[in-house]
Structure 1
Amino acid sequence: MNIVILSRNANLYSTARLIEEGQKKGHKVEVIDPLKCDIIIEKEKPTIYFNDRYLDYVDAIIPRIGASVTFFGCAVVRQFEMMGVFTTVTSDAIIRSRDKLRSFQRLSKAGIGMPKTVFTNYSRDIEQVLSHVGGAPVIIKLLEGTQGLGVVLAETKNAAESVLEAFNGLQARALVQEYISEAKGADLRALVVDGQVVGAMKRQGKEGEFRSNLHRGGSASIIKLNHDELKVAMNAARALKLPVCGVDMLQSARGPLLLEVNSTPGLEGIEGATGRNIAKSIITYIERNKK
């Protein structure tokens, strides 16, 4: 098969591992920067032009599109879909997962447990907003934040008011979320491929840090998910129509609570923590579905 990885850097761990596993299984794997593609829209024959050639020979794509290039990156994925090319994640699913508010609404409708969350249109009644999530401390998240950026822990009512007023002044939309103290700065990341959990790790934030992201100095270790945690991960992937994704959860006194679903999860942390060959699972998923 001719497999294209849509990535801006072939040297990134996740991209390099997918190349390695694809080539091991005898496929031709190519990395293409989606921002350097031209989308050719014409009657009956949509195509993509890249580096002096038409990409009409591609069998499958693996989108590895960063949040900052979602709009054009998803336009390229959509064009491949119009050409009948198989994709591990559809353009609609990526857009859906990148919109935190939209994804939370869908996940809530699917009956998946989450921390109490409030979204308001620049409300000045901040005390009322805080009461909806049980009062301070609270987590305040920018809708567009990734990798722990744009996430603030407000430990008091005054701190929450200051943060929300600052965000409102910048016209930056934010979610206010219940703080789960019993999680103690840790969360779970489950990697789902083709509807099944193929690896899971527990991420622990460094001392004094409530965010557990590995990019922010957190550590990771392998964990075996219980029945409820497996169910949340698989149901969340199904609700957002993401065959390949990372599902982040908190362990709470009332069971697992979903934090976020990532449509292009990194492989380095979870392969390192679990010893599982996640990249191979993704290539196998393409083979199974392309056939």
Structure 2
Amino acid sequence: MKASLMSLGSKSSLMTFEAMKKYFDEVENIDIKGVEVVLSSKKLSVLYNGKTLQKSDCMYAKGSFRYAPLLRSITTAFYNSTYMPIKPNTFTIGHDKLLTHLALQHYNIPMPETYVISSINAAKKILKQVQFPIILKFPQGTQGKGVMFGDSFASASSMLDTIESLKQPFLIQEYVETDGSDIRAIVVGDNVVAAMKRKAVIGEKRANIHAGAKGEAIVLDTFSRKIAVNTAKSIGAEICAVDILESVKGPEVIEANLSPGLQGIIEVTKIDVVDKIAKYLYEKAKHFSEKGKSSETSKIFEDLGVSKAGKSAEQQIVSNLDFRSDRILLPKLITNLSKFDEQDEVVIKASKGKVMVEKL
């Protein structure tokens, strides 16, 4: 199988590229700066160094927020024919803190209270209502850049005056006291493959490794792992980093990162994160290319001692309906076969004598 890694060529990306070569027959290392997208009424074309970019079995595309529109365009062109762990619209959501928080809110994922402000005057009114300290941040930015700490009304007002001159949208967010620490979890599929606690240096509120923070390997509890995985699902990413604060109310998500640095967490945890990513990409790409052939459905039926009728991946069982109050409760077998998750969005179609549920 052939894979492509599209990135800005960071050390983490090069490490991932080398790991992918252990699993795929061929891996192309693509510099996103050399990619262009041509749109017309009839087709969407992607060029790399002036030549048509060939389709691969797997495309792992990532980069900074500055390349979000380009990444979305590129992945849209290949989405139906190539396995990719990050959906096209995820680049728009994941690289914008406001859109990320909207996704978190939609999926009921705990997060600090956040205000979206339309003007400086409105912001100063908010300052009169909130408890200090607070966090002010720009919707876009990585490695903790664009995040400001206001410990009083006066300091926050001064920051707002500076922000006004920049003519940029911004967020006001509740400050969660954690003694300058946070948790970074790397999500791959349905698992957290590595996690560390980051402690900010003295005088610094950002717990980013790039800002000098120190890391310590940890094992997340079940609830925190679930929150991290659900955060990734909420923005449409199978691979990403999730940053969590340990508040008195429990874990709260502050950010998801589609292109996280991996050297720090690998060094701290001694876990070969890039190998886990590469292996996951290979297995998912293989499953994607073999879709329509034998699938997990066969194994489920074999484990349950139920014979499979025909070669179709769609299965049928004969059963009486179980009503709980005035609602239908489906058999556990159907839940296992469908692989639905509580965070999935579905379309439900119903008519007399028939109900159909499909994942969006």
Query: Hey, what does 2:281 align to over in structure 1?
Result: 286
Q: Any idea what the Cα deviations from partners look like across 1:176-230, whole Å, max 9, x if unmatched?
A: 111112x111100010001211110111111111101111111111011112211
User: Do 1:4 and 1:60's aligned partners in 2 also have CA atoms closer than 8 Å?
Assistant: yes
For residues 103 and 179 of structure 2, what CA distance do their matches in structure 1 show?
Answer: 27
Does 2:222 correspond to 1:227? yes
Residue 159 of structure 1 aligns to a residue whose secondary structure is helix
For residues 52 and 143 of structure 1, what CA distance do their matches in structure 2 show?
Answer: 33
For residues 279 and 32 of structure 1, what CA distance do their matches in structure 2 show?
Answer: 17
For residues 253 and 15 of structure 2, what CA distance do their matches in structure 1 show?
Answer: 28
For residues 60 and 87 of structure 2, what CA distance do their matches in structure 1 show?
Answer: 10
Query: Hey, what does 1:277 align to over in structure 2?
Result: 272
* Bigger relative CO (Cα 8 Å, ≥ 6 apart): 1
Q: Any idea what the Cα deviations from partners look like across 1:249-269, whole Å, max 9, x if unmatched?
A: 001111011110111222111
Match of 1:88 among 78, 85, 90: 85
Matched AA of 1:56: Q
User: Do 1:190 and 1:199's aligned partners in 2 also have CA atoms closer than 8 Å?
Assistant: yes
What percent of counterpart residues are identical? 29
Q: Any idea what the Cα deviations from partners look like across 1:68-97, whole Å, max 9, x if unmatched?
A: 222223222222225x12212122112111
Stretches of structure 2 that go unaligned for 5 or more consecutive residues are: 287-360
For residues 125 and 265 of structure 2, what CA distance do their matches in structure 1 show?
Answer: 39
Matched AA of 1:87: M
For residues 24 and 98 of structure 2, what CA distance do their matches in structure 1 show?
Answer: 41
1:13-32 equivalences under 5 Å are 13-32=11-30
For residues 149 and 55 of structure 1, what CA distance do their matches in structure 2 show?
Answer: 33
User: Residues 117 and 131 from structure 1, CA distance in 2 versus in 1: closer, same or farther, beyond 3 angstroms?
Assistant: farther
Q: Any idea what the Cα deviations from partners look like across 1:35-92, whole Å, max 9, x if unmatched?
A: 312334468764433235432242211112112222223222222225x122121221
Query: Hey, what does 2:139 align to over in structure 1?
Result: 143
Does 2:182 correspond to 1:168? no
| TM norm structure 2 | 0.75
Residue 264 of structure 1 aligns to a residue whose secondary structure is coil
Query: Hey, what does 2:232 align to over in structure 1?
Result: 237
For residues 229 and 243 of structure 1, what CA distance do their matches in structure 2 show?
Answer: 17
User: Residues 198 and 45 from structure 1, CA distance in 2 versus in 1: closer, same or farther, beyond 3 angstroms?
Assistant: same
Query: Hey, what does 1:76 align to over in structure 2?
Result: 74
Moved more, 141-150 or 52-61: 52-61
Match of 1:155 among 151, 158, 163: 151
Residue 176 of structure 1 aligns to a residue whose secondary structure is strand
| TM norm structure 1 | 0.91
Match of 1:202 among 197, 221, 236: 197
Greater Cα radius of gyration, structure 1 or 2: 2
For residues 25 and 3 of structure 2, what CA distance do their matches in structure 1 show?
Answer: 7
For residues 55 and 78 of structure 2, what CA distance do their matches in structure 1 show?
Answer: 11
For residues 146 and 243 of structure 2, what CA distance do their matches in structure 1 show?
Answer: 17
Match of 1:130 among 119, 123, 127: 127
User: Residues 111 and 38 from structure 1, CA distance in 2 versus in 1: closer, same or farther, beyond 3 angstroms?
Assistant: closer
Matched AA of 1:111: N
User: Do 1:249 and 1:257's aligned partners in 2 also have CA atoms closer than 8 Å?
Assistant: yes
For residues 41 and 117 of structure 1, what CA distance do their matches in structure 2 show?
Answer: 37
RMSD: 1.9
For residues 66 and 37 of structure 2, what CA distance do their matches in structure 1 show?
Answer: 19
Question: CA offset at residue 170 of structure 1?
Answer: 2.1
Moved more, 70-79 or 90-99: 70-79
Residue 281 of structure 2 aligns to a residue whose secondary structure is helix
Question: CA offset at residue 26 of structure 1?
Answer: 4.5
Query: Hey, what does 1:49 align to over in structure 2?
Result: 47
User: Do 1:81 and 1:87's aligned partners in 2 also have CA atoms closer than 8 Å?
Assistant: yes
User: Do 1:140 and 1:176's aligned partners in 2 also have CA atoms closer than 8 Å?
Assistant: yes
